[in-house]
Structure 1
Amino acid sequence: MEYQALSGSAFYLHGAFWVFVAVAIFALIAGRKVMAAIGTMLDTRAKSVSDALAEAAQLKAEAEVILADAKARQAQAMEDAKQILETAHQEAASLAAALAAEAEATAKRRERMAMERIAAAEASAVSEVRAAAIDIATAASAALLRDELGAQGDAALIDRAISGVPGALRA
């Protein structure tokens, strides 16, 4: 048998040509359907990727807004904390000054009370000493008068006291 492709007859008369034509037509028809399905699948995939990118961009924008808001809140919280600390320091300083003034007033009051007690004790001691001195002087005068003066001495003392009264009244 001779190979038909090498024979000199027309190419469209050979079976191989018609098999080639049939395979090419099948490939075109089936290829279009396959290509359409592949194209639809690729379009769907491209749309889902595009939607995912759009959603990611939207989420990124929302995240940036949330981040900016969080940074603003953090800055405000730091400012509030600084103000609270400053106020607390001022209150602590004024409280310390008030406590120091109160402690000083209490110390002065206690010192004054101690001085008053000392003065009262001194006055009491002085009056006790005076009373004791008066008692001793009275007892000594009574003993002196009893022992040394008699009736004559009493009369002389009375006369002297009476004569000294006008001078004492003028003075």
Structure 2
Amino acid sequence: MTYNYRLATLDDAAAVLDLSLRAYEPIRSMGIRFAAATADLETVRKNIHDNACYVMEYEGRMIATVSIRMPWGPQPGPLGVPHIWWFAVDPSIGKKGVGSTFLQWIEETVIRDTLKSPAVSLGTADKHPWLIGMYERRGYVRVAEKDLGKGHITVFLRKTLRDEWYASSQ
């Protein structure tokens, strides 16, 4: 399959919102309060404006989105490296590896090769039954936990993308 990857524009806001709300429906039913799970159009517009919001398309249809919060941006991640946020895959696609393909492209092409970052971080809810394990299988390691007042503990994970650079930055 050939996918198209690109930065979202404000014109994409309604489609990003629709995709996010459908993808995060199980999160809402678990009672986990992620921003993407209960977003409105203005929140999506702010996300696209403030962050590097990417979309993945297949045959002209948006099938996934992810945002990267930058250390110098208005809402940096906790580890001083680009922070993956608002990751959603169209639930109608099923388990076809689309999310893994997109996440790998973001990690390698955008964060490692374009931004030249030695690592990437992300956060997820301790209450989620499988997300932490999935990220750990992808090479992420737990580095911190914090109560952000959302009704769960946020577990922060980091993945080293450039061993030689990461070791020298410590």
Is TM-score (shorter-chain normalized) higher than 0.5?
A: no
What TM-score do the two structures reach when normalised by structure 2?
A: 0.15
Name whichever structure is richer in strand by fraction.
Answer: 2
TM-score when scaled to structure 1? 0.15
Structure with greater helix share of residues: 1
